[in-house]
């Protein structure tokens, strides 16, 4: 599509843009961060920009809380803050706009108290197209000055006075043009839970595991993870029993196991789409099983190890927990057997350092483990 515009084939480019939105919306969502960034580099991709903004106004954290926010193009930022339906508190929008403006001027302090007259003039120039689009604060009178005072310096004097007047007496006429409050959608917006979904892995790990499950070459970002990780079982090494594993995980499909190795930065684990079945008490095949070691702390790179011998991908043993055959074993805490990795060839790669293996086996102790069942998000 971009090449078509470069070759001045505008009719073809517009056709491709429409086709992409109407027929490949799922792909666009999976690569949303990249699509959003690239679409605003070309002012002709208006439909794609609108498609992106229709999502962002409902879920603004996708952009405003992303690591790339301060490098957002000005036209992208303006296209958002001019929307009447941007679902974010006005005070937060002001703060983000100021944050963006400061980032465009390296060396400018984030503390308004430290701004010189030259700094203020520079910031006003940077934000000249943004500030007219911000609406007045809808907050209680007691908090008005606390929030709005830092911006007094970069607003025109009459506009500052009118903002205060508008807040204190909404029905009195003013000379400045102040946009009306934004529309609040009736649908409940998602919010970030204060509780982490896992004690072992983070969202970046979940995105990486999800990418491996879908066999994606490009990793998902934390904003477009297509799976929900539902916790089935959690505990420490001393608390693990095969009974608890089979009671909660027997015949459950699409399981992700994560294990924090004691006294190291290692996080080991595996994915089993077919699940374990206690009644079978034997080996099962699956071409989609894999094991892994995740990047964490001193562990510089993640390791993905897919199954090779698909006839012996997993094992069902009533006295044991999850087994990725000839690769990763988790045993009862009260048995003589220890959790370990094998150095055999059922899976493609070793998931622990070669130096930890003695006689083909690498033993380890578990600090904490979790077992999730993954579900496709709507």
> From the first residue on, what is the mean pLDDT of each consecutive set of 10 residues in the chain (378 residues)?
85 86 76 83 85 86 84 89 84 85 87 81 86 64 55 61 63 64 56 68 92 91 89 77 85 94 92 92 90 89 87 86 89 68 85 89 89 90
Q: Write down the pLDDT at residue 156.
A: 59
Q: Write down the pLDDT at residue 189.
A: 44
Q: Write down the pLDDT at residue 159.
A: 59
Integer CA distances (angstroms), 30 to 42, 119, 221, 271, in order? 21, 40, 8, 21
Q: Write down the pLDDT at residue 276.
A: 93
Integer CA distances (angstroms), 172 to 163, 169, 175, 297, 330, in order? 12, 6, 10, 59, 71
Sheet holding 267-272, edge to edge: 227-235, 366-376, 255-261, 267-272, 290-293, 303-306
Q: Write down the pLDDT at residue 41.
A: 84
Q: Is the pTM of this model over 0.75?
A: no
Q: Write down the pLDDT at residue 212.
A: 96
Q: Write down the pLDDT at residue 151.
A: 63
Q: Do 208 and 339 touch, CB atoms closer than 8 A? A: no
């Amino acid at each position: 599509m971009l090449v078509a515009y470069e070759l001045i084939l505008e009719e073809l480019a517009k056709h491709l843009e429409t086709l992409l939105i109407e027929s490949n919306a799922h792909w666009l969502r999976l690569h949303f961060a990249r699509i959003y960034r690239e679409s605003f580099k070309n002012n002709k991709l208006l439909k794609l920009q609108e498609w992106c903004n229709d999502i962002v106004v409902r879920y603004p954290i996708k952009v405003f809380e992303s690591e790339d926010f301060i490098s957002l193009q000005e036209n992208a930022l303006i296209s958002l803050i001019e929307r009447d339906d941007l679902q974010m508190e006005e005070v937060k929008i002001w703060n983000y706009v100021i944050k963006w403006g400061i980032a465009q001027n390296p060396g400018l302090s984030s503390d308004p108290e430290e701004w010189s007259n030259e700094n203020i003039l520079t910031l006003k120039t940077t934000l000249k197209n943004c500030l007219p689009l911000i609406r007045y604060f809808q907050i209680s009178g007691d908090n008005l000055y606390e929030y709005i005072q830092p911006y007094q310096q970069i607003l025109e004097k009459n506009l500052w006075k009118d903002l205060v007047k508008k807040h204190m007496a909404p029905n009195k006429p003013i000379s400045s043009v102040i946009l009306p409050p934004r529309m609040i959608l009736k649908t409940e917006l998602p919010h970030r839970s204060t509780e982490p979904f896992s004690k072992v892995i983070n969202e970046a790990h979940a995105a990486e595991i999800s990418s491996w499950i879908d066999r994606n070459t490009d990793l998902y970002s934390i904003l477009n993870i297509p799976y929900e990780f539902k916790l089935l079982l959690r505990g420490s090494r001393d608390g693990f029993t095969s009974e608890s594993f089979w009671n909660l995980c027997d015949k459950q499909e699409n399981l992700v196991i994560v294990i924090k190795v004691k006294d190291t930065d290692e996080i080991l684990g595996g994915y089993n789409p077919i699940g374990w079945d206690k009644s079978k008490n034997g080996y099962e095949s699956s071409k989609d099983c894999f094991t892994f070691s995740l990047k964490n702390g001193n562990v510089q790179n993640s390791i993905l190890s897919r199954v090779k011998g698909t006839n012996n991908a997993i094992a069902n043993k009533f006295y044991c927990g999850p087994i990725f055959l000839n690769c990763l074993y988790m045993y009862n805490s009260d048995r003589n057997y220890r959790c370990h990795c094998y150095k055999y060839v059922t899976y493609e790669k070793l998931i622990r350092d070669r130096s930890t293996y003695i006689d083909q086996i690498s033993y380890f102790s578990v600090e904490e483990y979790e077992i999730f069942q993954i579900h496709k998000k709507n």
